[in-house]
Structure 1
Amino acid sequence: MKNFHEKREDKDSWREKNLLWGVPSFWIERFPLYYGRSKGFFRKRGISLEIKYYWGGPELAQAVRAGELAIGEMGLPPFTKAFSDGLPARVIGSSIVQQLDHYLAAKPGIKNIKELKGRRVGILSRGSCDEYFLRYMLESHSLDPDRDIEIVPLGSSYGNLDCFSSGIVDAGFIIEPYLSLGESLGVVKVVATVKDYYPRYQWGIIFARDDLLENNPELVGRAMEVYRESCSYIRENSEKAASFGAQVFGIKKEVFLSCLKRNMPSWEMNAMLDCEGVKNCIRMQKETGAVPVDFDFGAIAHQL
């Protein structure tokens, strides 16, 4: 593995470079990017950061194949599937939501997963992590995902609490901080957490295209340094971070702070992959036929 810290940089390498960072949804996992940009951490290292949304892992993978995108985040399940189909990219680290702190919530009258039978359940998109997880969770309770419920891809409406109050869905995965907001308003309550079904699992990952890693490793290295710096600053200054987060997500500071307190203890702040969690993810991907039985994660890992 190349060590970008030891690479000699010429005088042009620190000229400000535009960097498009692709992500699958607008939720708290994006917070280090917004905070790092706001605090000037990216610009200090010569990076002009643009964040672009794609509604799910498959859409992100398509942008990578098309040459539109060179770095970003997605869930490990859709990444491994895309890589096994020829995606020219590598996993370079973990996002803050490494483990499956992902919540399936429902209208207050629904008490558990078994009561989802005959209901409409919202996910991000077809082929996204949500669909993988939902199918496994339903099958664990002897429910058929294709017959017993209606799966509703929400796309740009993902995380919108109006989907619940208007009847578009009866339940669904809700991303933070909107889960905390929905609970505070009495709109939804948690019926299950994905990590209860997958106790050790690498979920969110940061990836980079092969050509970016080969041609400009120091830029990727600087971006990862900023990501870690932003995470550290959030951890050490949670009150200040909550004030900014409330502005970014359009909610009250106390709601965002309660969200941080619930989730931050389990965040991966150093962008390091959980090797055991990776193995579990790959094993489950193989069991479902999403990747070949001889799939080797070592071929796609390039931890920075």
Structure 2
Amino acid sequence: MKKVSFLLIALVVAAVGFFSGCSPAKEPKKMETIRIAEVTRSIFYAPQYVAIEKGFFKEEGITIDLKTTWGGDKTMTNLLSNSADVALVGSETSIYVEAQGAKDRVINFAQLTQTDGTFLVARKKPDYFSWEQLKGSTFLGQRKGGMPQMAGEFTLKKHGIDPHKDVKLIQNIDFANISSAYASGTGDYVQLFEPQASLFEQEGIGHIVASFGKESGKLPYTTFMAKESYMKKHNETLERFTKAIYKGQLFVDTHSAEEIAKIIAPYFDDTSEELMATVVERYKSQNSFATNPLLDEEEWNNLQTIMKNAGELPQKVDYSTLVNKDLATKAMK
């Protein structure tokens, strides 16, 4: 009887082993989609495009749906109306939302750039440049209340220029139309992002004479942010998202401008790889690309100093209120 029992057990064990061996392999993890609204399309955001093109998001089980929303107000509208899950925009926008008493706070969780990304372009190439030359000129600036404009005003004041008295300041042109307005003859000077600044220099329309990024110091110029409710529901997904961004940042930091230009070329159809490499190198040389996603408190405070200096800080907001550093800290381990 015992022999029969042992035989039955042996048969059962063998059968279990057989069917286990024949069971289908585990299905691959389902990809999750994150919709990003980026404030503009710029080589300034190279680490993001590298993370997409090199498959760093895919490695983390994430598919990216990227759209350009052209302006901080439009980008934030997309986020608040749930047309986007994550916004890539200046941190000042989260402070504006907080000041309006939003019940669902907008939280900064991963920093992409750590300086201003604009350059001062002059109509005529000077033999030498000094900020004094702007006095009495027409200056085509960025949108009032936006980080580019505030960094611009901060820089002018730093050099003893009152932007509302010493120059004729134009701020009423839509963000997407500033470059075309300058190309058509408006303004002696203009504040531009890349690659437009270098394109103008290449075409003889203007000449880069100074960097607002070098002048205004480190700050959370462009960060990834999401609504607090979304972060609570998708915390683990956003941690993987932040890991992918960190991989992109490390790649940009450790590879040549030429290599990076080749990778991000699909995002800039009208720009040569040679010009893109020039722009990437310019940003790398002034440490504009953040080398990790952690937004630190010193940068946050510098941001509010610049906003206050421009008369655009509606209220001071503590670092811990609108910055989640946990995702970046975990992603960097």
Q: Give the TM-score range, shorter chain.
A: 0.7 to 0.9
**2:140–2:182 contact (8 Å) kept in structure 1:** no
> Map of 1:77-156 to 2, 5 A cutoff?
77-87=92-102, 88-95=105-112, 97-109=113-125, 113-116=131-134, 117-123=136-142, 125-140=143-158, 141-145=160-164, 148-156=168-176
Alignment-derived partner of residue 40 in structure 1:
55
Q: Bigger radius of gyration, 1 or 2?
A: 2
Q: Please tell me whether residue 259 in structure 1 is matched to residue 279 in structure 2.
A: yes
Give the AA of the match of 1:153: I
Give the AA of the match of 1:108: K
Give the AA of the match of 1:285: M
Alignment-derived partner of residue 65 in structure 1:
80
**2:145–2:312 contact (8 Å) kept in structure 1:** no
Distance of aligned partners of 1:33 and 1:108 in 2 relative to their CA distance in 1, 3 Å threshold: same
Alignment-derived partner of residue 304 in structure 2:
282
User: So what's the TM-score if we normalise by structure 1?
Assistant: 0.82
Output the CA distance in 1 between the equivalents of 2:151 and 2:27. 45
Q: What is the RMSD of the two structures over their aligned residues, measured on CA atoms?
A: 2.8
> Map of 1:285-296 to 2, 5 A cutoff?
285-291=307-313, 294-296=316-318
**2:198–2:208 contact (8 Å) kept in structure 1:** no
Output the CA distance in 1 between the equivalents of 2:239 and 2:27. 16
- Displacement of 1:77: 2.4
Q: Percent identity?
A: 19
**2:137–2:188 contact (8 Å) kept in structure 1:** no
**2:151–2:216 contact (8 Å) kept in structure 1:** no
Give the AA of the match of 1:213: M
- How many aligned positions are there? 290
Give the AA of the match of 1:254: E
Alignment-derived partner of residue 16 in structure 2:
none
- Displacement of 1:219: 1.1
Q: Deviations over 1:198-245 (max 9, x none)?
A: 234332222121112101111111111111112223333433322233
Structure 1: stretches of 5+ with no match in the other structure: 1-10
Alignment-derived partner of residue 4 in structure 1:
none
Greater shift in the superposed pair: 31-40 or 284-293: 284-293
Distance of aligned partners of 1:180 and 1:289 in 2 relative to their CA distance in 1, 3 Å threshold: closer
**2:51–2:248 contact (8 Å) kept in structure 1:** yes
Output the CA distance in 1 between the equivalents of 2:302 and 2:28. 39
Alignment-derived partner of residue 31 in structure 2:
16
Output the CA distance in 2 between the equivalents of 1:60 and 1:14. 31
Q: Please tell me whether residue 271 in structure 1 is matched to residue 288 in structure 2.
A: no
**1:282–1:297 contact (8 Å) kept in structure 2:** no
User: So what's the TM-score if we normalise by structure 2?
Assistant: 0.76
- Displacement of 1:257: 1.4
**2:117–2:194 contact (8 Å) kept in structure 1:** no
**1:22–1:52 contact (8 Å) kept in structure 2:** yes
